Chain A
Amino acid sequence: MFRRLLDRLEEFTIGALLAISTLVIFLAVVHRYLAGFAIPYLQDWLLGFHFGWAQEFAMICAVWMAKFGAAYGVRTGIHVGVDLLVMRLHGGARRACITLGLLCGLLFCGLLVWYGVRLVWENGAAYAWYTGLGRDPGPYFEGPLTADLEWPSWMVYLAIPLGSALMGWRFLEVLLGYWRDGTLPQHRVAHVKGLDEGEGVPPSVEQGASR
């Protein structure tokens, strides 16, 4: 139950972030283009909208998408390495290699969570926490803001520890799955929805052949 909820949430998040980021840039471009025309009233109306935040917002969406998408990628087996040597190995050696690879993935994510938390903490989260509780922030600085939206950077940087934690969790799942039944998630490169369901050959190609 929890797993399925997490899976759906992960998919929803990355899909939505990609869609939002695309639409924001699309709107900003359309706005800029139209506002350049000296059409009375319309131009003044359009000049009233500010899209100065669009690039930064789209970028933050994309980075968050990338951090959680990387976790999704572990689940779907899209992160591949140079597996020539591993493919040639058999039995225990192969098992050891693959286990090592997954453990390293887990380790890397763990380190990113650790250093990510420290980055967030030292970059303003600590200050916000202590001053929020009405206490002296001690050696901690008030953190920077993002340039255009002026959001606290530490909130934006949260993508690192959160995304890495999820990615580490996915590595762990894959590792346990591999130990249990020896299978790994495989990303199917040659699978596109809509193609293998529709007619495989364009009609005209078939027509051309029948003549």
Chain B
Amino acid sequence: MSAAILFGMLFVLMLVGMPIGVALGLTVITYMAFWTPVPLESVALKMFTGIEKFELLAIPFFILAGTFLTSGGVARRMIRFANSMVGHVTGGLGMTAVLACALFAAVSGSSPATVLAIGSILIPAMLKQGYSRRFAIGTVASAGGLGILIPPSIVMVMYAVTTNTSIGALFMAGVLPGLVLVLMLGAITYWQARKHGFAREAKVSWRERWQALREAFWGLLLIVIVMGGIYAGIFTATEAAAMSAVYAAVIALFVYRDMTWRDVPRVLVDSANMSSMLFFIIASASLFSFILTSEQIPQMLAQAIIDLGLGPIGFLLVVNVLLLLAGNLMEPSSIILILAPILFPVAVALGIDPIHFGVIMTVNMEIGMITPPVGLNLFVASGITGAGLGETSRAVIPWLLTMLVFLVLVTYWPTLSLALPQALGMM
């Protein structure tokens, strides 16, 4: 009953279009005022303590790093390097987009930011070269999803904090699946380009490649710093975020000098804005999951799911369908924050590895970002191209299908996710 009231009210409030944080918060306050003796001051307390967690600091730090990298010319140099490596393959700039997204994903924690950084340069370039708008949107919007699968990843941070699993191990678990997805996206891009007869770039000499690599070096070095620093035990995953923000600022201001000190306030305020928006949702979601727990709803739902007797395979199927549906309507952080506390205990009870489950959820979120009507990557791509949401959504279909195949692979082949963190002794 209480579950019906809570979820029903949340659904109605969300449907009339109010910000998700407000919908969550008002649902909880109303419910608490009428149906529980819990004093309402604890609402204010939870709005504070819900985000007072050191690990969550990784979010603003990685966002700040990403903004510096985008404004500071790192994305541009990565694209140039990627282009020199794969531009000559069929679908030239499309292949460049996939590789550049993968490289940028390895320094940025967000998918829309990856689409933005790579897409705002490459999509116009592709259109100029006579690639179709659909092809341009499809490659970048889908490959941008790598932003949350290849570490660092804001979505993974949220999952890890919500479920008390290790951020570092989860990051490492994203590496191999990320590489596999790069290959798969590359393959579908190749096939699409071939089908439509798109041009390729001329092959570039190894000297020019070396030159491009040297220019991109300082940006690429961040990959080594973040992953190497975590693995070598110089800092934790959260601290790595602060290190990369400072590093990115230094690169942008002193090495590449694509931005000046006068641009710094803008970068800080934009990053703070994005982070605060996420923190507002996180705080409200922690309030929501508090009231769920207090009413023992996750325990009941978990028991109900276990009583279905699905077993791990069936459960994961249900989880994927549920997450994909949720992914249509909501953005990733809200999904993770609302559903992880409910699904996670069941997954653990069924013997699914917490880290593997985190990767499954992340891949679902990635797909959710390119499915309409709510798909952050689609929004960014349509913002860059001026194409409507309908066209953008149709454009990504071949890549979307590829990612669904990839989802099945990740879901039912845990080794792909777990091999690396296990080999590194992180779990």
Contact = CB atoms under 8 A, between A and B. Distances in A.
Interface of A: 11-12, 14-19, 21-23, 25-26, 28-29, 33, 55, 58-60, 62-63, 65-70, 72-73, 76, 78-86, 97-98, 100-101, 104-105, 107-108, 111-112, 115-116, 118-119, 122, 156-157, 159-161, 164, 188-196, 198, 200-206, 208-209, 211
Contacts of A192: 67, 70-71, 116-117, 120
Interface string B279-291: 1100100000000
A46 to B, nearest CB: 16
B79 A202 contact: yes
Contact of B272 (A15, A188, A203): A15
A190 B116 contact: yes
Tell me if A's interface is mostly helix, strand, loop or mixed. helix
B45 A70 contact: no
Interface stretch (B145-153, B242-250, B302-310, B418-426): B242-250
A18 to B, nearest CB: 5
Nearest to B25: A108
Contact of A194 (B26, B44, B72, B269): B72
B21 A72 contact: no
B265 interface: yes
Contacts of B31: none
Contact of A112 (B15, B43, B128): B43
Nearest to B13: A104
Contact of A190 (B25, B128, B279, B384): B384
Contact of B276 (A73, A82, A105, A189): A73
A81 B258 contact: no
Report the interface size class on chain B.
35 or more
B71 A193 contact: yes
B280 A115 contact: no
B356 interface: no
A22 B76 contact: no
Contact of A201 (B47, B73, B75, B124): B124
Contact of A69 (B75, B129, B273): B273
Given A26-B242, A65-B272, A115-B43, A204 B26 contact: no
B405 interface: no
A160 B57 contact: no
Nearest to A24: B242
Contacts of B57: 21, 25, 58-59, 62
A205 B83 contact: yes
Given A14-B273, A194-B263, A105 B43 contact: no
Contacts of A82: 14-15, 17, 20, 329-330, 374
Interface string B193-230: 00000000110100010001000000000000000000
B319 interface: no
A189 B383 contact: yes
Given A157-B45, A189-B112, 12 more contacts: A11-B265, A15-B269, A26-B246, A29-B235, A63-B51, A66-B276, A79-B19, A82-B20, A84-B374, A104-B18, A203-B80, A205-B125
B276 A72 contact: yes
Given A104-B26, A108-B29, A73 B280 contact: yes
B273 A76 contact: yes
B71 A194 contact: yes
Contacts of A83: 17
Contacts of A104: 13, 18, 22-23, 26
A94 to B, nearest CB: 9
30 contacts: A12-B265, A22-B245, A29-B239, A29-B242, A55-B54, A62-B279, A65-B60, A66-B275, A66-B280, A69-B276, A70-B279, A72-B272, A78-B273, A79-B21, A85-B15, A86-B17, A100-B18, A104-B22, A119-B45, A156-B48, A159-B48, A160-B44, A190-B116, A194-B258, A194-B263, A195-B120, A195-B121, A200-B124, A202-B77, A202-B79
B52 interface: yes
B80 A204 contact: yes
A150 B123 CA distance: 52
A25 B23 CA distance: 34
B61 interface: yes
Contacts of B279: 62-63, 66, 69-70
Contacts of B60: 18, 21-22, 62, 65
A81 B14 contact: yes
B397 interface: no
B349 interface: no
Contacts of B29: 108, 111
A43 B43 CA distance: 46
A80 B334 CA distance: 12
Contact of A66 (B116, B283, B330): B283
A112 B60 CA distance: 23
Nearest to B53: A59
Contacts of B283: 66
A17 B263 CA distance: 17
B70 A194 contact: yes
B343 interface: no
B189 interface: no
A193 B242 contact: no
A211 B87 CA distance: 13
A190 B22 contact: no
B367 to A, nearest CB: 18
Contacts of B238: 25
A12 to B, nearest CB: 8
Nearest to B267: A193
Contacts of B96: 205
A131 B60 CA distance: 39
Nearest to A73: B277
B223 to A, nearest CB: 18
A118 B197 CA distance: 67
4 pairs of A and B residues whose beta carbons are closest in the complex: A69-B276, A190-B383, A66-B279, A15-B268
